[in-house]
Structure 1
């Protein structure tokens, strides 16, 4: 029997990327009903290009379910630097899930968690018996790399990916995927709006992790650090530990999706009914 190949799609990453690819030139693909569809159209194009490229047996699409999560409860400033989504994108959040449903692809998400957490949870379950490919534009997901889990990062255009397996990541980055969590805890993440240890940048964080492997290893060897490094870490111990909790993808979300429900079998008639309703042209040709 052919081994399952499961494509886990970071729906939010694809949708935002597709939106901004055309929104920068004020092109929103507003149809005759007044509905902007540029993000959904581009999302489907990314999705179909990936299924053609990777030929998965199963596909699952994961979503954020609102901006309030367990991370914002721990640290209210988490992602607080991000403005409200553009008005042209807002109606496409629900619309894209309708389109995914019309393709008979499961939509998975749970309030209080991010899409990353759902992806991590499902990848952990599926990789025990199947090959898993995660399609995203978010480098944070690289921490999930392990045997049977590949991360495919979207690059500019369609069908261009930076693919990572555990070994290629270690070779390129010089640390393990799991050490990415401690790296972000030390240096912080400006896009997610948490500081880590003030004054510790990527170069220093990588050097410390290469030498001492983990945050615990660094803390056990504080006397060996430079006076400046030690002072910075000791002054920010609470934030260091909090940042690590924020950086770690949680893989114990109460979500599941049976592989029977995730088999990639698109009903073209149902798909075309939805595409015609939205006035999408030429997308179906990407499936042939």
Structure 2
């Protein structure tokens, strides 16, 4: 049986990337003054993706602009982000029309992020006979990588990077299954996820390598020789557990479409 390929596109990740690639410097507008940098860049990216990769299936997931379950869990979630630029807000209706023009499902579910929709599709649909490619630059998706799920990361001025298990190990020094615990320790400044204050990437990598999981790390705090690291974990235990919940991509959402 021929292996088929499903591409899951993180809509706003691509739109933001296109906005900053084409909208900086002299703004790109129509003759009437309508900003179109994000629309133009997204259209170019999608055309390149479809003509070069020729996916068997394509689904686009987008965020809702309302709070999600993560905001209910931690009101400061993403609170450090600036408001969306007005000229990008003005392009959202055009971007929606563009994505719909590709004739594939365009999904959003109130209360969830696009990440959770993509995670659920990847886990529920991916099989050895159906490879899944997650189209996004977001490193959080590395937690979903397995033998038939890959991260397709766009790169400026070069071909996209295909991240497999080896790519995850190169980035985090751990397996995809351990990425959640690594992120729980490090935190994520872009999403205002606190992590464990005082634990950086290097320290998190060492802890995961030695103990295997956040749970085992917390169980063995008294045995950790490094005093600063031990104190950081004692003081930041609850933040680490909260951060683990925040960085975990949901994979169990009931999906409104099937392949």
TM-score using structure 1 length: 0.84
Deviation at 1:172, TM superposition (A): 5.5
Residue 205 of structure 2 is matched in structure 1 by 206
The alpha carbon displacement at 1:134 in A equals: 1.0
What are structure 1's unaligned runs of at least 5 residues?
Answer: 260-288
1:236 aligned onto 2:216: no
Residues 131-170 of structure 1 aligned to structure 2 (within 5 Å): 131-157=131-157, 160-170=159-169
Aligned residue number for residue 117 of structure 1: 116
Q: Deviations over 1:134-178 (max 9, x none)?
A: 111111111110121111111113x62121112442356420112
User: Do the aligned partners of residues 116 and 153 (structure 1) sit closer, same or farther apart at CA in structure 2, a change above 3 Å counting?
Assistant: same
In 2, Cα distance between equivalents of 1:219 and 1:195: 17
Q: SS of the counterpart of 1:89?
A: helix
Number of residue-to-residue matches in the alignment: 257
TM-score where L is the length of structure 2: 0.94
After TM superposition, list the pairs within 5 Å mapping 1:1-288 onto structure 2: 2-28=2-28, 30-128=29-127, 129-157=129-157, 160-170=159-169, 173-225=172-224, 226-259=226-259
Bigger radius of gyration = 1
CA distance in 2, matches of 1:255, 1:35: 35
> Which sits farther off after the overlay, 204-213 or 222-231?
222-231
CA contact (8 A) 2:218 2:237 kept: no
Query: Does the Cα contact within 8 Å between 1:142 and 1:151 map onto a contact in 2?
Result: yes
Alpha-carbon distance between aligned partners in 1 of 2:125 and 2:144, rounded to the nearest angstrom: 13
CA RMSD of aligned residues (A): 1.6
Ranges of 4+ aligned residues in structure 1 off by more than 3 Å: none
Distance 1:169 1:81, change over 3 A: same
- Unaligned runs of 5+ residues in structure 2 are none
